[in-house]
Amino acid sequence: MLGSEPELITHHAHNGTEPDDPPTVPIIRPRPGRPPRRPRPLTAQDLRRRRWKRVRRIAYVAAGLFFFVPGIAFAITYFAVDVPSPETIAQAQGQAVTYLFSDGTEMGKDVPTGGNRQILAPNQIPDVVKKAVIATEDASFETNSGFDVGGILRAAYNQVTGGSGGGSTISQQYIKNASGDDDPTLTRKWVELAKSFKMNQTYEKADIITAYLNIIYFGRGAYGIQAAAQAYFGKDAGQLDYSQAALLAGLIQQPGRSENTAVATSRWTTALDRMLKNGYLTPAQRAAAKFPTPIPLRESKQAGALNPFLKKQVKAELAAQGIDEKQYYSGGFQVFTTIDPQAQQSAEQAVAEGMADQTDDRILNALVAVDPKTGGVLAYYGGDAIVKGPNGEDLAGRDWADEAHNPGSSMKPFDLAAFLKLGRGLDARFDGTSPRTFPGVDLPIRNAGDSSSCSTECTVSEAMQRSTNTVFYDMVLNVTKPSGVAEAAREAGIRTKDNGGRSELFTGDNNISIGGGGTQVTPADMASAYATFAAGGVQRDRHFVQKVTNANGETAYEAKLRSVDAFADNDTQKSAQIAGNVTAALAPVIPFSRLSCPNGHECAGKTGTQQHTPQNDEPASAANANSQTWMVGYTPSVSAAVWVGSDGDKALRGPGGAPLFGSTLAGPIWDRFMQLYLTGRPGERFDRVAAISSPQDRVQVQQPPPQQQQRDQRDSVRFGDGNRQQDDQLDRIREFQQRLQELQDQQRGRRRP
């Protein structure tokens, strides 16, 4: 319109008729002197080029993901994993522990759960064995870096298509077996590859194949080439020929079918063919090969099953010395035990003969023998290792030699030791009649029978021979006190629960005096404690192990023998005198109990019986039955404890329903053991010591009543019984006692003013 103002450019922005930003389409300005240029339309070739460019970029990314990233991850894993040396891994595998008798002969092997591995050095395994395994298991072993890419691809293909066959190299199999990890996961396989590669960068091939052969399973319970050579051919690995090596190499893939002749033959054939293909055999050798028939399976079993109770004791002893369960199976140890093969055989034979006629299947037994001169266990029998369960099934037996039982009268030597420590002697007198009542004791104390009773002034010596309960009950109650008996027993070698043992010495009442109530002792402890008497008062720790050597023959442990004066600190003579007086009192017990001692030897010992406590539902005859019986005795060279009893308080019966006593079953077993073990060995006598006596013991000996004299005469005739060996033994005992009396009289004479 005429006369109107010019329109402002901002008006369009405010009224929304113009955009705020300049146009985005580029303005193509022609170059000076040239016509305007228009964009060229894209051709099909351009489009293809663009597509391939995108494909290449994706391929680069994929290559990075599948190669570069895994490479970085593999490198990280390589440096992160720890590959111990083949020697370390081999040693860490469970190896059998060889047990030896005291004379060095083999007792048996303790094979770990994984089997028996015996570690060999590279030069102990023949090349033919190594080549057989390489050809059969991993033909590229000498050149691969721990894994075979082609083998991995074949394994992957087989898994996809349902075929069989893996791609593991010997190095991979070694890592898998050494670690015990067979988890079918990608993580486990990845770590296995890294470890295998790192092992091959770190160690020589000879070391790797040797380590592999030392741990791989061949069947028949044999882990490692040495155990396999023994199990299949009864020879060492170094003696294997190429045909035998081929069979063992072939069985690695199917060890569980080793007894299938067709499978074994097929695997042997495969191994030989691969050895020929790899140039390890000549065509003539392949043609001449004959199948090496293995020895029968029953003959390949290890000779001499190891006593499980003995093994338990040895392992406990070694654990206390720092060789725990982990170390026990890792050192290729040889354990030199203290067990004498003749003593062990004698113990087992004596028990078998003694139990042959018994009809009560509740009767149990144990026998332990100890060397008084060293404390070493000579024989250890804890009962049957395998027993029948209620349904006829096989169950593990209990070690009755290490179970505590009421010792009965076999406890009385410790009463006497405590009495002698106070300066009292064998000529002290007590009332030996029966029954007797004591202040504060609810029930009367009784002797076991007429033969166990004596006069009102019964000497301690006679009371021990007759096993007079009333005398020893009186002695402990009024003189030594229960604590004194417990102290003497511990000093002799009884190991109580508060001192690492299993026995219990209860001092809350006076029942310890006759081995009843809460007092319970193991047969092993009894054998050790009586050994202290045999050793002249020197207490030596009971032990099963002399020394232990490792796979290199080096001493890993050696027992340190500790000796102490049991009954008098730092006073050898006094301790010996106490022990000698105990021996003088125990010597007559042997013939009195109708037992004997091997010709030329002096013996001493004590029987023991624990009476059964009848229950309301039992017949009246149960009151006359016994539940535990003992015989513990010794010579200067062996102390043996025999226990025959029940699991708990049961009324045991012998043939014909007769009750059992220490002198009727445990005693004869002890007697038989001593005869078997000592016959033919040089005779031994106990050391003579001075008698212990005090002024209050010097009372004129009263003559026993005529009836008692007649009974003594009958006993003397009966125990002599025309047996020359028993007569000789009685003569020695009389000589011993006479000498003891002479020494006692001399001491009295010197003390008279």
- What residues act catalytically? 137, 409
In 3D space, the residue among 414, 540, 546 whose CA is nearest the CA of residue 481 turns out to be 414
Q: How many CA atoms lie within 13 A of 34 on its CB side?
A: 7
Rounded Cα distance between 14 and 8, Å, is 11
Q: What angle do CA 29, 34, 36 make, to 5 degrees?
A: 45
Rounded Cα distance between 668 and 389, Å, is 29
Rounded Cα distance between 505 and 483, Å, is 9
For CA atoms 348, 351, 356, 362, the dihedral sign is negative
SS3 368: strand
In 3D space, the residue among 432, 428, 473 whose CA is nearest the CA of residue 452 turns out to be 432
CA 127 vs. chain centroid, Å, equals 37
Instruction: Give, for 56, the enclosing helix (H) or strand (E).
Output: helix 44-63
For CA atoms 399, 402, 403, 406, the dihedral sign is positive
Burial (Cβ within 10 Å: 0-12, 13-18, ≥19) of residue 737: middle
- Token pair 């009560």 is found at 360
Give CA separation, 389 vs 286, 362, 386, 392, 395, in Å. 55, 13, 10, 5, 6
**Taking each helix axis from N to C terminus, what angle separates 127-137 and 205-215, rounded to the nearest 10 degrees?**
80
For CA atoms 261, 266, 270, 275, the dihedral sign is positive
- The set of residues, in sequence order, having a beta carbon less than 8 Å from that of 213 and lying 6+ positions away, is 120, 125, 129, 130, 133, 224, 225
- The count of other CB atoms within 10 Å of the CB of residue 31 is 9
Termini Cα distance of the chain: 171
In 3D space, the residue among 256, 255, 251 whose CA is nearest the CA of residue 266 turns out to be 251
